[in-house]
Amino acid sequence: MDENLAVSALAALAHASRLAVFRLLVQAGPEGMGATRIADELSIPPSSMSFHLKELAHAGLVTQTKAGRSLIYAADFSSMNALVAFLTENCCGGAACLPGRNSSRSSCSTSKEGACS
């Protein structure tokens, strides 16, 4: 992931309502949910919801699909995974902490030094 895209995604998530929306959409899975249902579930006024969804979409964290007269929003899991990979690519020197990487180190723990054990 490009650093500018990461900054944009992190900025979009740096608001309590948008973070809650994104987490709810991650929980909802690929089926996503409509804006009205998201607003109801999180008790966010509909007037604010469209702004928050627009910001998340602009950052590439959510997708929108038209279903009849409604818009369905879903977390963009590939963008989410790219952001997590970007944030963790240097963990333990890039050797041990990411799933699927083979390493002689058995695990990565948070010690005082923040090093792998």
Q: What does pLDDT average to in each consecutive run of 10 residues of the chain (117 residues)?
A: 95 97 98 96 94 97 94 97 91 64 47 45
Sign of CA pseudo-dihedral 78, 65, 56, 40:
negative
* Total-model pTM: 0.79
The top-level CATH class assigned to 3-79 is: mainly alpha
Give 40's Cβ-side CA count (13 Å radius): 5
Contact indicator for 108, 96 with CB cutoff of 8 Å: yes
pLDDT in the model for residue 100: 57
What does DSSP assign to residue 2?
Answer: -
30 token code pair? 């690929």
SS3 72: strand
pLDDT tens for residues 28-61?
A: 999 999 999 999 999 999 989 999 999 999 999 9
